[in-house]
């Protein structure tokens, strides 16, 4: 019997991260591929098998299972379904392929759900039975935990707070609808706010930045030097997020909300304002009960640990 | 060993219904009090003990427990907390008082949650593990079931879809905020719509009805004879409900939504339109997956059966 580990795999549009994670959530060995190295998903499975077999031997690992986080990952079916940013089209039977090759338990869900379970097992949400986890990156992802269990819904796709309508007939969203939270409270939304509001302000260091070069970091830096345009963009992001969270609290009544990702790193600009707007919009019985915390997971570890946490959670709750 | 039953108690502002319900959901014996008969909650407990003791003896019942549905009922604490329509103020330790007197397991939750469990055990939601239950009456109540369990949230107050904001800066709600779903999609909301839209229409049989006499039934009858004002009021109710449901689906991804109560009885005027507005506002991955059904519980039985179902559910899932 070696060192019990789970192989976590985080599949993204650019990179595939993988690594061995022990039951304490420590990453013992990690590596990555470029996603476009693999024309067929089967090639990924084969390569990974070869590469990790050596690592298992070398380190004396005893792999208890595999956990996969992937865009449009369906927990129930074990498939990656029509993921727009991945080259493998249609339904990829990821769990089935990994199981056949590795002969260990394999679980899969989408990246936000995996990160949510990571936060619950290895991060700030330890011991929380009811919480909401939000990723504020290029888009807005979320995972909902109720009574200690991730909410998958009947089809495995629950937890899409980023695609609840924050503003009726609002900004055009990539999903085809209008006014989704993601169009306001993501880095993309922040950039959009700067673009749309430019004419309302006399001066801003952001005026000289072409839209394509406008990053969350630049807007953050401007806001920190009190640029009113940048501050307004953050205020909009926090307002829409706070209002959507107020409605979400009325549905699942969580004890806490955790924010992760690019925008959440802008701590003071996001947390206080989001909390303020949420409280203003909460039903009385929920006021002053719900904490908003920053995620305790490191940005470059959360996805990988989350993928492994998915499977640790399954193996230890049986 | 007699006939195993649960004593269900539905506490409302006007009446307290109670009755014995067997495991199939059949009401074997029922009766009621006027709520204002009892100055102290203890008096209710004493009276009920006397009255049901006789019924138990007479019918050979074997009471397995007590289930209580009450406004502002807190499942975790077993308390009724500051219920605006009840005369007992502050926190009433209902479960504790009933347990001390009856010496059986006692569970309590709010009326909408109880009705939700009733639908799951004895109604149309049998076998559904993920669904949303909506009561459309004077107000809008809701219960959310995830993975076969009612969502209570960390404080016992989850499932308040009626108090999610449907319209920013919308109609004044009794809760103190503006634009809650309940101000549009309840019987009260329907009446308000008629009142507000009167001037937009040339003629309507509802013009002659003073606001205080305006009932859901009158508006329904007018709509059924193609009165455009009444039809518009129903359309608004369905539109706001459909949009809130579209957002709720993105959170818990239910297999079905059940509608119960006064407005839900206006079947054709509510179901088709609510479904239409919901589908228009759903994220692609949820489209054409979620059914909207009428509750299968009779109006005068749902609350009582729900209260008993709460405890049957606890006793049989242990």
- Tell me the nearest-neighbour CA distance from B226 into chain A, angstroms: 29
Residue A233 confidence class, pLDDT cut points 50, 70, 90: very high
ipTM topping 0.90: yes
Helix (H), strand (E), coil (C) string for A190-205? HHHHHHHHHHHCCCCH
What is the distance, to the nearest Å, from the Cα of residue B137 to the centroid of all Cα atoms in its chain?
A: 8
Average pLDDT value for chain A: 95
A81: nearest CA partner in chain B: B285
Q: Residues B3-118+300-316: name the CATH superfamily.
A: ATPase, nucleotide binding domain (3.30.420.40)
> What pLDDT, on a 0 to 100 scale, did the predictor assign at position A266?
85
> Which residues in chain B are contacts of A130 at CB distance < 8 A?
153-154, 158
Q: For position A2, what pLDDT does the model report?
A: 72
Residue A211 pLDDT exceeds 60: yes
Can you spell out the DSSP letters for A248-306? HHHHH--SEEEEESGGGGSHHHHHHHHHHHHHHHS-GGGTTT-EEEE--S-TTTHHHHH
Q: Which pLDDT value is given to residue A1? A: 57
DSSP A142-182: EEEEETTEE---TTS----GGGSBSSTT-SB-TTSSB-BTH
Distance CA B164, CA A282 (A): 9
Calculate what percentage of chain B has a pLDDT beyond 90. Answer: 90
Q: What is the pLDDT of residue B83?
A: 85
Residue B127: both structure tokens together: 């076998």
The string of pLDDT tens digits covering residues A156-207 is 999 999 999 999 999 999 999 999 999 999 999 999 999 999 999 999 999 9
CA separation, residue B212 to residues A75, B215, B221 (Å)? 52, 8, 17
Cβ-Cβ contacts under 8 Å between A and B: the total is 134
Q: Taking Cα atoms as reference points, which of A17, B256, A18 lies closest to residue A7?
A: A18
Q: How far is B248 from chain A (nearest CA, A)?
A: 8
Confidence of residue A118 (pLDDT cuts 50, 70, 90): very high
Interatomic CA distance for residues A101 and B89, integer angstroms: 64
Interfacial residues of A (vs B; Cβ cutoff 8 Å): 72, 129-130, 144, 146-147, 149, 151-161, 163-165, 167-168, 175-177, 243, 246-248, 250-255, 281, 283-286, 289
Flag if A250 and B281 touch (Cβ within 8 Å): no
Q: Which of B154, B165, B250 sits opposite A254 (nearest CB)?
A: B154
CB contact under 8 A, B151 and A153: no
Please say whether the beta carbons of A134 and A144 come within 8 A.
no
Q: Which tokens is B12 given?
A: 């409302």
- Read off the pLDDT of residues B178-203 as tens digits, 9 standing for 90 and up: 999 999 999 999 999 999 999 999 99
The answer to whether the CB atoms of B251 and A158 lie below 8 A apart is: yes
The minimal CB distance from A161 to the residues B175, B250, B255 is found for B250
Nearest CA in chain B to A128: B154
Pairwise CB contact (< 8 Å): A283 & B155: no
pLDDT at B318: 56
Q: How near does any CA of chain A get to the CA of B27, in Å?
A: 31
| B215 C-beta neighbours (distance < 10 Å), count | 14
Q: Do A243 and B284 touch (CB under 8 A)?
A: no
pLDDT tens digits for range A262-318? 888 888 899 999 999 999 999 999 999 999 999 999 988 999 999 999 999 999 875
The verdict on a CB contact (< 8 Å) between A160 and B283 is yes
CA–CA separation, A317 and A315 (whole Å): 6
CB contact under 8 A, A253 and B289: no
The reply to whether domains B3-118+300-316 and B126-294 share a CATH topology is yes
Contact A252 B144 (CB under 8 A): yes
User: Mean pLDDT, to the nearest integer, of B172-183?
Assistant: 95
Class of B126-294 in CATH = alpha beta
Q: Decide if A164 and B247 are in contact by the 8 Å CB cutoff.
A: yes
**What does the alpha-carbon distance between residue A36 and residue B35 come to, in Å, rounded to a whole number?**
69
Q: What is the pLDDT of residue B268?
A: 84
**pLDDT value of residue A318:** 56
- pTM of the entire structure? 0.93
What is the distance between the alpha carbons of residues B279 and B275, in angstroms, rounded to a whole number? 6
Contact B281 A159 (CB under 8 A): no
Using CB atoms, which residue from B250, B254, B289 is nearest to A160? Answer: B250
Instruction: Calculate mean pLDDT across residues B227-236.
Output: 97
Q: How is chain B split into domains, by residue range? A: 3-118+300-316, 126-294
Q: Which run of H or of E encompasses A64?
A: strand A61-69
A259 falls in which pLDDT band (50, 70, 90)? very high
Chain B interface, best mutation among A73, A252, A255, by max B CB count within 10 A? A252
The tokens for B230 are 């009444």
Measured between CB atoms, which of A147, A154, A163 is closest to B130? A154
Q: Is A118 helix (H, G, I), strand (E, B) or coil?
A: helix
DSSP E strands, chain B:
3-11, 15-21, 27-34, 61-69, 73-74, 79-81, 91-92, 106-109, 131-136, 140-146, 149-150, 256-260, 291-294
Q: Which H or E run contains A45?
A: helix A41-59
CATH 3.30.420.40 at A3-118+303-316, yes or no: yes
């Amino acid at each position: 019997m070696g060192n019990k580990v789970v192989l976590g795999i985080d599949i993204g549009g650019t990179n595939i991260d993988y690594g061995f994670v022990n039951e304490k959530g420590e990453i013992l060995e990690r590596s990555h591929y470029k996603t476009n190295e693999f024309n067929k998903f089967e090639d990924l499975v084969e390569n990974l098998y070869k590469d990790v077999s050596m690592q298992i031997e070398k380190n004396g690992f005893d792999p208890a299972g595999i956990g996969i986080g992937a865009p449009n990952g369906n927990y129930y079916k074990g498939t990656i379904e029509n993921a727009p940013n991945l080259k493998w089209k249609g339904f990829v039977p990821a769990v089935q392929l990994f199981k056949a090759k590795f002969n260990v338990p394999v679980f899969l869900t989408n990246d936000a759900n995996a990160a949510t379970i990571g936060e619950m097992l290895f991060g700030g949400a330890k011991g929380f039975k009811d919480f909401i986890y939000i990723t504020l990156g290029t888009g807005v992802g979320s995972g909902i935990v109720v009574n200690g269990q991730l909410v998958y819904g009947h089809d495995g796709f629950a937890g899409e707070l980023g695609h609840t309508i924050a503003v009726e007939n609002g900004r055009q969203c990539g999903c085809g609808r209008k006014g989704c939270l993601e169009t306001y409270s993501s880095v993309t939304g922040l950039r959009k706010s700067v673009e749309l509001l430019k004419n309302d302000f006399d001066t801003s260091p952001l005026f000289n930045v072409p839209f394509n070069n406008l990053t969350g970091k630049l807007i953050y830096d401007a806001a920190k030097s009190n640029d009113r345009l940048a501050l307004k963009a953050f205020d909009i992001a926090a307002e829409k997020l706070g209002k959507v969270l107020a409605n979400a609290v009325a549905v699942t009544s969580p004890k806490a909300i955790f924010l992760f990702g690019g925008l959440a790193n802008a701590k003071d600009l996001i947390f206080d304002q989001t909390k303020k707007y949420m409280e203003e919009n909460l039903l009385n019985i929920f006021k002053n009960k719900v904490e908003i915390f920053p995620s305790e997971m490191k940005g470059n570890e959360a996805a990988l640990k989350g993928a492994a946490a998915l499977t640790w959670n399954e193996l230890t709750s049986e």
